Structure 1
Amino acid sequence: MVDDDYISAEEAAALLGVTIDTFYVYVTRKNLRSTGIPNSRKRRYWRADVEQLRGRGRKPPASPTDLDAESSITLLTEDNLFYRGISVRELVNRPTFESVAALLWDVDADAVFGESLPAFPDTVKAVRHALAGESPLDQAIALFPLIEKANPRSQDFSPTGMARTGGDVLRAFTALIIGNDRPDRRAIHVSIAEAFGFTDRQAALMRHVMILAADHGLEPATFAVRAIASTGVSPWRAVSTGLTIAIGRKTRPVKFAAIGRLVQEIVETERPFEPITRRVQEGDAIAGFLPATSGPDVRATVLLDLLEAGYARDADFQRLMAAIGAARDIGGYEPGFALLGAFAGLKLGLRSREATFFLARAAGWIAHAIEQSLGGERERHEPHYRGPLPGL
């Protein structure tokens, strides 16, 4: 009977081994559900809630986020960011992005970025033709499962095996971004630079931005990657998951469009402070800027130093610095990494700024997938359903 699913306050207190006064405190603090008794001021309490609370003394409660909440990959301090104990200030000087990806994966770069390339099945060409008008991100989400099946080594789930598959993922993703039918062995930044006609200065800037973007905490997409990796999928599927989550309306890590518009306005005007002051006067957020209370963005600090070293005489950069100065004067706002990354994308003339950002972030996702996989599958808990209660 439904009535048997409810118990009185006295019965609940007895089950929990507490006084009736303490039980009423639990009702408020522990979210115990109840229903009123007709023609009475008393209430009866949902037995399952009380039993669940009683069991917490023996076993931690189930949680939908019961994954590893700590990671040994990245360390963020007040004034620095470290990948595996090495400062990004040092890592941006490494000659290839692959060397940093291998560091994140805790393997030797030569072991995962060797002569062997991932096979592209014949179906890839047909699907790419059908998706010709879609972004490289959507193409990757659609094609990665097909490429995975064409590469048996994708099923090697040892740490080195997953890292080797990670190398395949980055090379395949690069090919999709630049429109190649096959991956190649050149360094990733070199492949992209040659495809888009970058100068050496532009190629170095892109490499710097990618290194800084590779990993930055357990944001929603990274958390989703860890969740699916714990079930035993390959890096192909893990990165597909990260892309799917990251480009969502509510979970996108940065507002690329709004930030891109602001940067474009700044470099196209002779009064670069006006896009900042106009937004403040209209009560709008200044996209890409961080309030002083949020603390420094280490990646932004490093990237700004690199831009100053390479673009100090560039007219667009001088306008950007004027806008940054206005934001600082108005409210102590500081440029975030997303803003400076958007400016870098503008100087590179990239057709898809998001694609190269997520190519870089894929290296971090793969690192998290490997780390989570080493921890085994997440513990399975008994589900707790909390739908509307039936009446008495």
Structure 2
Amino acid sequence: MAPQGDENYLTTAEVARRLNVKPETVYAYVSRGQLTSVRARGRRGSLFAVTDVERLASRSIEHPGVVERIETELTLLQDDEVYYRGHPVRELAKTQTFESVAELLWTGELAPSEPFAAPPEVVTLARTAMELAPPGARTADRLRIAVAVLGAADPLRFDLTPASIVGTSRQLLGALVTGLPGIQTDGGFAARLWPKLSPRPAYPHILKTALVLLADHGLAVSTIAARVAASSRANLYSVVSAGLGALDGHYHGAATTFAYQFLDRALDDPVKALSDELRSGKPVPGFGHRVYRQRDPRAEVIFELLAGQPVMDRVHEITARVNDFPNVDLALATLMHAYDFHPDAGEAIFALARIVGWTAHALEEYQEPGLRFRALGNYTGPAIS
């Protein structure tokens, strides 16, 4: 019990200000045994000894221990639906441009937005960087190289003010989509991206819909990677590189390619393709999800746009035989088959769309105390000799 009025104790709010954290984080420190709270007679709330608080503040990192929860105003996943800043993603995908949704995630404002542009010299540098990739490199590999090179060439990359970050992301996306090999066209992001991925006549509203649906998805593993990088105050190019690195894993971005390959086999013989997958003992590519329980709303929106496409007959046939629901990876794979997209196009679409989300999360993370993602490891190695 703390003495009433003892000046050697601080309130929760005072501790939060001293440590530059939120009150919820103070309670997390208590639960982990890093702070001890006491009660004062006649006063509401917890008190903390100044000496304990100063000891914690003097550590080499501002936030020892794991961040259990990340507060975000960006994306809500609830009841098998997705919302960007309170807006149903279904409606955004149908009614808004990719650029407008990007601005919504970045600034909170939903309004018409101009296509992402980039200075010609930046586009030339992005194109030159992509050409460094060896023959057979995936489009996602070219994007990774270009992001690294564009970052190295930007002398103002460490300007982390919101206006600078948003401007950098616009320019980065404009340079990447324009620098990709293929036919150059004018218009919005989706219209410029389509001929880089498919030889078929363009239906940019379909690709735009997919881009909007994939722009963010809460705290996915690549987004966590991006936020950790932002927590160290890495510049936006490095944040995007961190996200791209995590996206490259076969449990994340590559899932679209696996779904595409599965669907490719199923177009010839759906029963054999499904039998082969079941025999492997692994989940059938393009089905189920860790977050959703009964449906993936993003897949539903894309399938609605593809109604009547011959490939949908196979999708329905496979879905009827799988004891799970199709996810966005299968929907994107279906889009790719319907319009003859390159086999690696799905990963590129995913990566380009998610740059918008990583930027939005970086903007949030830059406002948090730095280096807050410090995990507490349990050492299991040899005893000290």
TM bin, normalised by shorter chain, reads 0.7 to 0.9
The alpha-carbon distance between structure 1 residues 70 and 132, as it changes in their structure 2 partners (threshold 3 A), is same
Shift of 1:101: 1.1
Which of the numbers 307, 310, 317 marks the counterpart of 1:315? 310
**Equivalent in the alignment of 1:372:** 365
CA shift digits 1:239-287 (9 cap, x unpaired) = 11111121135x5345234322211122233xx3443355446645312
The alpha-carbon distance between structure 1 residues 86 and 376, as it changes in their structure 2 partners (threshold 3 A), is same
Matched, 1:343 2:358: no
The alpha-carbon distance between structure 1 residues 112 and 69, as it changes in their structure 2 partners (threshold 3 A), is farther
Task: Tell me which amino acid in the other structure corresponds to 1:210.
Answer: L
The alpha-carbon distance between structure 1 residues 118 and 97, as it changes in their structure 2 partners (threshold 3 A), is farther
How many pairs align?
325
**Equivalent in the alignment of 1:158:** 161
| Structure of higher CA gyration radius | 1
Matched, 1:261 2:261: yes
Which of the numbers 287, 298, 323 marks the counterpart of 1:289? 287
Instruction: Extract unaligned runs of 5+ from structure 2.
Output: 1-31, 37-51, 57-62
**Equivalent in the alignment of 2:384:** 390
Q: Which deviates more, 363-372 or 226-235?
A: 226-235
The alpha-carbon distance between structure 1 residues 379 and 340, as it changes in their structure 2 partners (threshold 3 A), is closer
Q: Which deviates more, 376-385 or 149-158?
A: 376-385
Cα pair 2:214 2:353 within 8 Å, conserved: yes
CA distance in 2, matches of 1:374, 1:342: 37
Shift of 1:135: 2.5
Where 1:263 maps in the other structure, the secondary structure is helix
Task: Tell me which amino acid in the other structure corresponds to 2:84.
Answer: Y
CA distance in 1, matches of 2:86, 2:296: 18
Matched, 1:252 2:266: no
CA distance in 2, matches of 1:379, 1:221: 17
Q: How does 1:1-392 map to 2 (within 5 A)?
A: 55=34, 57=36, 62-63=64-65, 65-66=66-67, 69-106=70-107, 113=115, 117=119, 119-120=121-122, 127-133=129-135, 134-179=137-182, 186-195=187-196, 196-200=198-202, 202-249=203-250, 251-269=251-269, 272-277=270-275, 279-280=277-278, 283-290=281-288, 294-308=293-307, 312=308, 314-327=309-322, 331=323, 333-351=324-342, 352-353=344-345, 354-379=347-372, 386=379, 387-390=381-384
Shift of 1:363: 0.9
CA shift digits 1:84-121 (9 cap, x unpaired) = 11111111123521111111112666778566537428
Shift of 1:383: 7.6
Cα pair 2:289 2:327 within 8 Å, conserved: no
Task: Tell me which amino acid in the other structure corresponds to 1:130.
Answer: L
Cα pair 2:148 2:238 within 8 Å, conserved: yes
Shift of 1:80: 1.7
The alpha-carbon distance between structure 1 residues 128 and 194, as it changes in their structure 2 partners (threshold 3 A), is closer
The alpha-carbon distance between structure 1 residues 114 and 296, as it changes in their structure 2 partners (threshold 3 A), is closer
**C-alpha RMSD over aligned residues:** 3.4
Shift of 1:376: 3.7
Shift of 1:211: 0.9
**TM-score of the two chains, using structure 1 as the length reference:** 0.71
Task: Tell me which amino acid in the other structure corresponds to 1:260.
Answer: Y
Shift of 1:69: 1.7
The alpha-carbon distance between structure 1 residues 384 and 264, as it changes in their structure 2 partners (threshold 3 A), is closer
Cα pair 2:191 2:204 within 8 Å, conserved: yes
Shift of 1:158: 1.7
Cα pair 2:295 2:326 within 8 Å, conserved: no
CA shift digits 1:349-373 (9 cap, x unpaired) = 2223211111111111111111111
Cα pair 1:221 1:243 within 8 Å, conserved: yes
Cα pair 2:210 2:302 within 8 Å, conserved: yes
**TM-score of the two chains, using structure 2 as the length reference:** 0.73
Where 2:233 maps in the other structure, the secondary structure is coil
CA shift digits 1:44-69 (9 cap, x unpaired) = xxxxxxxxx86553579932x43862
How high is the sequence identity, in percent, across the aligned residues? 23
Shift >6 Å, 4+ stretches = 109-112, 380-385
Cα pair 1:239 1:366 within 8 Å, conserved: yes
CA distance in 2, matches of 1:114, 1:281: 46
Higher-helix-fraction structure = 1
